[in-house]
Structure 1
Amino acid sequence: MRAKKSELLTQWRRDVRLLPGAEHLDLPTLDDHIPTFIDELIDALEAEADERVAEAHAGGSPSAHGLQRLDAGFDIAEVVAEYNILRDALQDLVELHGLILQGRAARILNRVLDEAIGVAVKTYAAQKAVELQQRREEHLAFVVHDLRTPLSAMSVAAQALTESLPESTTSNDAAVMVRTLQRNLGRLDALVTKVMLEQVNLVSSAGRKLELREVDLWPLVQNLLHDLRPLSDASQTRVLNLVPKDFTVQADAALLTQVFQNLVSNSLRYAPHGEVLLSARVAQGRVECSVEDDGEGIPPERLERVFDKLETDPDPEKSGTGLGLAIVKQTVEAHGGEVTVESRPDHGTIFRFTLPLRAGADTGNS
């Protein structure tokens, strides 16, 4: 069998290539630990006692193989299948030489393969569960983050409503209702903050499936700016929607709204008493959207890290959760676009991101 190892591997590779997860793997990735595992299996068959079966797995190669196959995109059934393909290839090799695999040799072969399958599947499943939990936690953190901006707008609006009431009405029903509103907004904000503080260990993509459709860009931006008006009024910042009214993009409307919301909220924080411009144009067959402010800008040493998770301003008065721009980057990239930032201290900042045009759109306009 040792002399026929190359022949055995060739047959295994040919048959494993039929698995969907293995079709596009390069040879080293496809092989992974299998050549070493075959040597371990042969050692076990040549040993004089069954105790060597346990030694065949002392190096932990099936465990590492389960992790490697998860990274390679195998599903768990394919992990099992490739070991059974090796079992069949070994049987074919034995029969080809007029031998019969039975008795102690058959027991050792099946035990080694079954143990390898068990270890690889256990490791695969455990890591898959960890990654799923991480995605759920990160998605929850992102959703909670996106609640902060409308909550802030509601709080500012409630405060403005309180200040607009005449002093003589402080005890009437309207004043009581406004105070109840403020109190419950405060409780909700505290709950959101608590959840966010529990979700700071982030690792991977939010994992939300895009719901793509044709989206009219101008009304989407206009509706968002209407909802954020209490914030812009409070910071005395002028926010202008310069998006052409005939622009249509292919996007997930809810996620696209989050992108604009996070960028505008960021600009309002850094450009009080200033101006924020939202615009869009066609560039190289795609829609390029931008959010520009004339605020204090971003220091050069922070510019490369602004899209990193948990990266936030060291100034306590301006620091956020460190998730807003990370959400922007992940969402734009999920749409097949890219996001960039340019900034000069004391001159302002401009964020740009690209989106696909709607199907059949004219790409000649600018």
Structure 2
Amino acid sequence: MGLAQLIDAHKQEVLGRWKEMVRTLADARKLSDASLEDHVPELIDWLAARLRDRVSTNDYGTQMLSRAHAFQRVGEEFDLVEVLVELAVLREVLLGLWVEEPAGVAPVEVLHLSQDLDDVVTVCTTEFARQVVRRYCGSPQAAETLGP
């Protein structure tokens, strides 16, 4: 069983562990389950799909999911640190799954998962910062200086 199949087989467990750990964050405690989960189930699906087929899996998926997540968290008055901790927790849970069931998982799959999560963090951080600049500075031009 490869890492993608492992993630698929344990998706609800991954989501449950992630929610339990994230609920310890101050900003996350006030959210409903639906708001907390936000785009995380789709992100988990995208990560598994990306592991299965790196060539044809659309990078646009991570861009849109990461941006949507950042946009929602800005609207809920989250701190950027907590947004990044949410993503770090997802990494920890996914890597923990691999540690628990390493058989059949190639080391390159773990490297690819880590690279994809790094991309998600980069996009999410940039979009979060862009949204904060727009909200508090009122300048779309200033927000655009943060990059694509």
Alignment match, 1:33 = 39
Deviation at 1:24, TM superposition (A): 1.2
How many percent of aligned residue pairs carry the same amino acid?
28
Q: Residue in 2 aligned with 1:57?
A: 62
1:53 touches 1:111 (CA, 8 Å); kept in 2? no
| Alignment partner of 2:11 out of 5, 25, 31 | 5
Q: Which has the higher contact order (CA 8 A, sep 6+)?
A: 2
Q: C-alpha separation between the residues in 2 aligned to 1:92 and 1:57?
A: 22
What TM-score do the two structures reach when normalised by structure 2? Answer: 0.81
Structure with bigger strand share is 1
Distance in 2, matches of 1:101 and 1:76, equals 32
Residue 73 of structure 1 deviates from its aligned partner by: 1.8
Q: CA deviation at 1:57?
A: 2.1
Task: Trace 1:106-185 onto structure 2 (pairs within 5 A).
Answer: 106-134=110-138
**Residue 112 and residue 53 in structure 1: after superposition, are their counterparts in 2 closer, same or farther (change >3 A)?**
farther
3-state SS of 2:30 partner: coil
* 1:102 CA displacement: 5.2
Q: How does 1:349-360 map to 2 (within 5 A)?
A: none
| Larger-Rg structure | 1
Q: Which runs of 5+ in 1 are unaligned?
A: 135-366
Per-residue CA deviation, residues 58-94 of structure 1 (Å, 9 max, x unaligned), is: 6x11101101011112101111111110000011111
TM-score of the pair, normalised by structure 1? 0.34
Report deviation, 1:2: 0.6
The answer for unaligned runs of 5 or more in structure 2 is 1-6, 139-148
Pair 1:86-2:90 in alignment:
yes
Q: How many residues align?
A: 132
Q: How far apart, in 1, do the equivalents of 2:126 and 2:120 lie?
A: 10
User: In the aligned structure 1, how far is the partner of 2:19 from the partner of 2:112?
Assistant: 23
Deviations 1:266-317 (A, max 9, x none): xxxxxxxxxxxxxxxxxxxxxxxxxxxxxxxxxxxxxxxxxxxxxxxxxxxx
* SS of the residue 1:39 aligns to: helix
Instruction: Give secondary structure in 2 for the equivalent of 1:121.
Output: helix
Name the CA distance, whole Å, in 2 between partners of 1:79 and 1:50.
28
Secondary structure of the equivalent of 1:25? coil
How far did 1:101 drift? 5.5
One-letter code aligned to 1:120: C
Give the structure with the larger helix fraction.
2
Alignment root-mean-square deviation, CA: 1.9
